[in-house]
Copies of this chain bind each other. A is one copy, B any other.
């Protein structure tokens, strides 16, 4: 997947003289150098949600990168482990990826011997996905990275806020998924 290599918001442009006054000082961005003015984005949930997710993703990628498996693979392995025999379409729905996106990924995991794709007896159009022992082992390795990663997130979120934060994320997913206003 995407790779880290940070380049976080921060840094200034050589010039950037604010012009017509808007928000007060509203700069931000930690660490030194000249901060940019984020304007409206400064207080926008969506923008910060995106930055946080990308930072989390990059951090996990750094952590699990050496295992040769990426964040997306981890989610797939977990779901297959917990729902042996499921179809590719069901897996895609669970992890939020189109079935056509999974085709090459699953083919590669199969090639590497981490999972099996058996034609489902009940429905010969679909495959029944299951992890091989090697797949279970890979999952275990990734699980250790995932645990460390989430522990890092927990530290940043703060133990007492964790439940509320997670609940808020769930509400966003549930609320934005269907409706639209």
**What is the count of identical protomers in the complex?**
2
Which residues of A pack against B, CB within 8 Å?
2, 6-19, 22, 24, 26, 29-30, 36-41, 43-60, 62-63, 71, 75, 78-79, 81-87, 89-98, 120, 122-123, 126, 128, 143, 146, 148-150, 152-158, 161-162, 164-166, 168-181
Whether A170 contacts B43 by the Cβ 8 Å rule is no
Interface residue from B46, B148, B157 paired with A149 (Cβ < 8 Å):
B46
Assembly CA distance A84 to B17 (angstroms)? 7
Whether A96 contacts B7 by the Cβ 8 Å rule is yes
Interface residue from B18, B43, B52 paired with A173 (Cβ < 8 Å):
B52
Whole-angstrom distance between the Cβ of A84 and the nearest chain B Cβ:
6
Whether B85 contacts A17 by the Cβ 8 Å rule is yes
Chain B residues closer than 8 Å to A75, beta-carbon distance: 41, 47
4 nearest A-B residue pairs (beta carbon): A13-B86, A39-B82, A13-B90, A53-B53
Chain B residues closer than 8 Å to A49, beta-carbon distance: 49, 52-53, 56, 153, 169
Interface centre among A79, A123, A164 (most CB of B within 10 A): A79
Q: Name the CB-closest residue of B to A162.
A: B45
Chain B residues closer than 8 Å to A157, beta-carbon distance: 45, 168, 171-172
Whether A55 contacts B146 by the Cβ 8 Å rule is no
